[in-house]
Amino acid sequence: SADAGGLTGRNLIINGAMTVNQRGDSTSKTATGYYGPDRFQWIISNLGTWSISQSTTVPSGKGFGYSYKLEATTADASPAAGDFAILSQKMEGQNLQLLKKGTSDAESVTLSFWARSSKTGTFVIELYDTDNTRSISKSYSISSTDTWEYKTITFAGDTTGAFTNDANESLQVNWWLGAGSTYSSGTLNTSWGSRTNADIAAGVANLADTANATFYITGVQLEVGDTATPFEHESYDTTIQKCYRYYYKTNLDIGTNSPYIIGSYALGVGATLIWCITDYPVPMRIRPTALEQSGTASDYGVLRVGVSTAVTCSAVPTYTGGTNLKRGISQFTASGVTNGAAGLPMNNTTNGYLAWSAEL
């Protein structure tokens, strides 16, 4: 039964146990981005400076190995009107059709999670329907400093505004951790309605008001119904396959003091171009729009079949794409390329990598 932790697939959140952390930890962050554990985005506007990491601080005896940690390394005790800090997970509309939103049979949902913070006070969770600009917010309290607390919050179903049935963003689950008066000066919108800024995070505390303030979260679950069931623990393999749909990073080490393989294979095209072909583990959500890479041009090269020396690149790789959601092409510039020659694309720096993003 669900009460015993069965009925797999009921958690709409991806990576709620914070086990996958492809990007690694980040420091000195003042801008919106994906940092730390996969699928969770830090959305911020002028409210402190933050370190974001995968932490081993977890609630005891609950089966978790990791949490998502936020730390305010530079405080901001006086937010301007438009300032905010939000931890968010964004969801595809095609994964939300079971909620029957916009119909008379709209389902309620329950969010549950473990949280720990150095700051007590009231914080706010918002469900934001980005298809129809509708939202609902509920508050919860951190009662004791530096103590794990289990939270469950139920949201009624919304009979207005269906989610679009496609691969685009339809819903944000937003943990508001601070906001200026633009977003906090009204009355909390505890029922579904048109999104009114002042009512989104009314009464929210400001996590950024003290240097080195911390917030940890793990065991995040969003499920249909008005009851929180035990967290759906799943294998690491299952979770990372879900994450690869949105972000894929490759850096296979082939041995001590050896280069990192960063693609499936490389192919010489003319005398100066190399195509690096990467087969994604799963189809990505959309064609990635950009390539992330580490290092400088001299770090990149191709290990050629039957040749002892590598071709060294004269520019960092760029993404040329294509429409295939299972395969990406990155273009290297080099001299001495043999047209049609095959090899392995590599980066010779520690943890050198290529990465592709199809995030919402």
pLDDT averaged per 10 residues, the chain (length 360): 61 98 97 98 98 98 98 98 98 98 98 98 98 98 98 98 98 99 98 98 98 98 98 97 96 70 92 93 92 91 82 91 85 91 88 91
DSSP string, 262-317: -SSEEEEETTTEEEEEEE-SS--SS----EEE-S-GGGEEEEETT-SSPEEEEEEE
pLDDT for 137: 98
Q: Beta strand 354-357 with 247-250: parallel, antiparallel or unpaired?
A: antiparallel
Q: Is the pTM of this model over 0.85?
A: yes
What is the spatial distance between Cα 203 and Cα 122, in angstroms, rounded to a whole number? 7
DSSP string, 149-198: EEEEEEE----S-PPPSSSSEEEEEEEEEEE-HHHHSS----S-EE--HH
pLDDT for 71: 98
Buried b (16+ CB within 10 A) or exposed e, 223-251: beeeebbbbbbbeeeebbebbbbbbbbbb
Farthest CA pair distance, the chain: 70
Cβ pair 47, 178 in contact under 8 A: yes
pLDDT for 40: 98
pLDDT for 103: 98
pLDDT for 98: 98
Q: Look up residue 351 and give its amino acid.
A: N
Cβ pair 23, 251 in contact under 8 A: no
What is the spatial distance between Cα 13 and Cα 222, in angstroms, rounded to a whole number? 6
Q: Which of 310, 294, 290, 291 is nearest to 302 (CA)?
A: 310
**Residue bearing tokens 């294998």:** 235
